Structure 1
Amino acid sequence: MESTVAMNNSEDIVITKELGFPKDCDSLLERCVHIMHTIDPIEKADLTLLLGQQWKQTIEARSKRKYNNDDDTGSKMMEIGCATPPDIPLRPDNLEFVRPGFGVKVGKAGSLSSRIAILHALANVEQWAIDTALDNMTRFGYYTQATAGTALKDQIENEQEAKFVMPNRFFDDFMQMACDESKHFKWLNERLESQGAHYGDLPVHASIWASCTDTARSALARMAVVHMTIESRGLDVNPATIARFDRSGDADSAKMLQKIHEDEVTHVQIGHRWFCFLLKKHEGIGREDRTAGGDGNVVEDRGGSKAFGAGAGANAEVHAEYDGDDELYEFRQVPPAYAEKDGSTVEEVVDPVEAQRRKRFQEVVVQYFKGSLKPPFNTVDREKGGLTRGWYEPLVVVRERTGFKPASGRRLLNKKDKPNDVKAATTEVKLNASPAIDSNNEVAAAP
């Protein structure tokens, strides 16, 4: 059977293999776990796209029922369900795992072998990114104090906080993200094959999943570390990679990488959205009303006029506020940090809620992130994702002041302890979190 899956008006992805889920696997989260247990990388991507298509039908049916009072949608509605994600998603036996920074030197895209190495590294990133998005839904779809990341480690075991299902938008966002990553993997894999290579020809690492393991007990940390820190680092280095492919004469790959980069901006935005949601829901850091400023504060925008909540300019930071409705989010805009006026730097004015959010983000990153933050930063695309400089630049100073050093290369995996064995969890296989950038500073290891 040949089927076509398209998400967000992106280019169609054609699946040329008959796919389906087991009969007893009928909820969203059960199917997410089934995909995480899928070994073949192409099948993993195809099943994710298929699930995305099925979930899109649920979104449409949900909207129809809500706004048209149409009750004849039950057959199209997929339940969220409940399932337990694996400690480590399955991978093919033929993949050779190395610790981050000890793989093939990818180079600067000046040769065919260098371009293949870069594309292969990015394809590996996308495989882990698929599983990360699926894991987010499955692991954090039911909110507790522990998963909000505020409980002390020794208190988590005794948490009896009542659970509730995260808003529908949470599942919509991360299902879309999983589909984006699947689409990216298929593009990269097809590009590799057009160059005479295949995914699995070169060694791979699992540094992204190391960060997922480190944040497995904290949804707040997962958003802050994986999506707002590691993934935003990808925004920093992607433009240089794209430019190198373009200079090398590989315009097709450069065009593809640009499309991938644009999707990744939205993924940082999703992480920011749910980080802010968790802060508001559990820690009370957020706005209580839907007025322009929430707390009535007024700040000055780039142009010098008074604005808060609207009219802050094209480069303003986007905030998502949860307003009590599972499906309705209000996007607020606040002026960007370090706004420049007449060529000079203007002192930033930050409202109290924004300052609290940044402070918590920085605390969580210092606690959970084992990489390093260093300039140059792609401030324009970071702002599109919701992160002005005030969110991350202080972390560079903090790490320098505390003498922080990235984790050294401990053994990650060897041939006898591949991640296919789900029992070989973090207690047996220490997944060593590492900086988001390969040792050559060429490829961003970000979802």
Structure 2
Amino acid sequence: MNVGVCVPPNKPARPAKPELVSPKEIPAPKNSGLPLNAYMLHNLAHVELNAIDLAWDTVVRFSPYHELLGDILAELGFSYGDMPAHNLLWRECEKSSGDVVARLALIPLVQEARGLDAGPRLVQKLIGFGDCRTSNIVAKIAEEEVAHVAVGVYWFAAVCQKMGRSPCPTFRDVLKEYNVEVKGPFNYTAREEAGLPRDWYDPLKESKQDKERLSEVHDRLARIISMEKENSSLNRGD
């Protein structure tokens, strides 16, 4: 798949080190000249670097929605780039480039959460316009956005816990510090499904149920992450 006029590279850029060799040429721990923990950490660092690159390569090459939306635009006589677009997401990324708490708050918990609110409304507008094909795609994207926000909630809470900070006031502090206003109308059902408590973004609506839902999302995602780590270890033969 081409992205605009660009073609994804066959392999990602790499630093001069480490030297890349075949698996058979990798020395065993006892022959590496490194302490076992250093040996294992180096291997893990390399695996994680490749995992990130593989994920991005998959997104660029095989993103079904970008390609499908582009195809439908072409059928309508248009192409991506024919109209102006905002740079809001990357503006927020730049603002939070030095603060992981702010990055997690501003991107998944604000920007992506807005997709939970706007998605169903856009679906109804498209249905009213008579374009059920596009409305089905938007509905699927909105459905998958719940998981994106849920992962953001999990990691935001985890980072806050590691820093000894409470998630709710920390989230509000970030909004204030970065001058971000979270506006409704809110899709409370989707936000609750993603584990985003109402008292974080809507202080007048604090409830015990929100906290219970957040705990359930944390437990579910913790199990998924644990399984992924276990599978990665098995695949590496650890």
**Shared fold (TM-score greater than 0.5)?**
yes
Aligned residue identity for 1:361 = F
Aligned partner of 1:255 among 132, 136, 141: 136
Instruction: Give me the whole-angstrom Cα distance separating, in 2, the residues matched to 1:257 and 1:176.
Output: 23
Unaligned runs of 5+ in 2: 16-44, 206-238
Instruction: Give me the whole-angstrom Cα distance separating, in 2, the residues matched to 1:237 and 1:229.
Output: 12
State the partner residue of 2:93: 212
TM-superposed deviation, 1:365: 1.7
State the partner residue of 1:79: 47
Aligned partner of 1:191 among 72, 95, 114: 72
Instruction: Give me the whole-angstrom Cα distance separating, in 2, the residues matched to 1:383 and 1:177.
Output: 30
State the partner residue of 1:238: 119
Return closer, same or farther for 1:208/1:175 CA change in 2, 3 Å cut-off.
same
TM-superposed deviation, 1:175: 5.5
State the partner residue of 2:177: 367
Instruction: Give me the whole-angstrom Cα distance separating, in 2, the residues matched to 1:199 and 1:362.
Output: 36
Supply the RMSD in Å over aligned alpha carbons. 3.5
Instruction: Give me the whole-angstrom Cα distance separating, in 1, the residues matched to 2:14 and 2:174.
Output: 36
Aligned residue identity for 1:21 = P
* CA distances 1:76-128 after superposition (whole Å, capped 9, x unpaired): x963349xxxxxxxxxxxxxxxxxxxxxxxxxxxxxxxxxxxxxxxxxxxxxx
State the partner residue of 1:298: none
Instruction: Give me the whole-angstrom Cα distance separating, in 2, the residues matched to 1:175 and 1:24.
Output: 10
TM-superposed deviation, 1:177: 10
Instruction: Give me the whole-angstrom Cα distance separating, in 2, the residues matched to 1:188 and 1:234.
Output: 17
TM-superposed deviation, 1:181: 9.9
The answer to whether the Cα contact below 8 Å between 2:175 and 2:181 also exists between their aligned partners in 1 is no
- Identity between Structure 1 and Structure 2 (%): 30
Instruction: Give me the whole-angstrom Cα distance separating, in 2, the residues matched to 1:234 and 1:393.
Output: 17
The answer to whether the Cα contact below 8 Å between 2:2 and 2:8 also exists between their aligned partners in 1 is no
TM-superposed deviation, 1:388: 2.0
Instruction: Give me the whole-angstrom Cα distance separating, in 1, the residues matched to 2:138 and 2:57.
Output: 18
Unaligned runs of 5+ in 1: 1-14, 28-76, 83-167, 286-355, 397-447
Instruction: Give me the whole-angstrom Cα distance separating, in 2, the residues matched to 1:180 and 1:274.
Output: 27
More helix, by proportion: 2
Matched, 1:388 2:197: yes
Return closer, same or farther for 1:277/1:197 CA change in 2, 3 Å cut-off.
same
The answer to whether the Cα contact below 8 Å between 2:150 and 2:194 also exists between their aligned partners in 1 is yes
Normalised to the residue count of structure 2, the TM-score between the two structures is: 0.62
- State the secondary structure of the residue aligned to 2:138: helix
Aligned residue identity for 1:364 = V
Return closer, same or farther for 1:25/1:391 CA change in 2, 3 Å cut-off.
same
Aligned partner of 1:25 among 13, 17, 25: 13
The answer to which of 371-380 and 240-249 deviates more is 371-380
Return closer, same or farther for 1:175/1:276 CA change in 2, 3 Å cut-off.
farther
* CA distances 1:314-358 after superposition (whole Å, capped 9, x unpaired): xxxxxxxxxxxxxxxxxxxxxxxxxxxxxxxxxxxxxxxxxx221
Total equivalences in the alignment: 173
The answer to whether the Cα contact below 8 Å between 1:373 and 1:395 also exists between their aligned partners in 2 is no
Instruction: Give me the whole-angstrom Cα distance separating, in 2, the residues matched to 1:235 and 1:247.
Output: 20
TM-superposed deviation, 1:22: 5.6
State the partner residue of 1:277: 158
Return closer, same or farther for 1:176/1:395 CA change in 2, 3 Å cut-off.
farther
State the partner residue of 1:222: 103
Normalised to the residue count of structure 1, the TM-score between the two structures is: 0.34
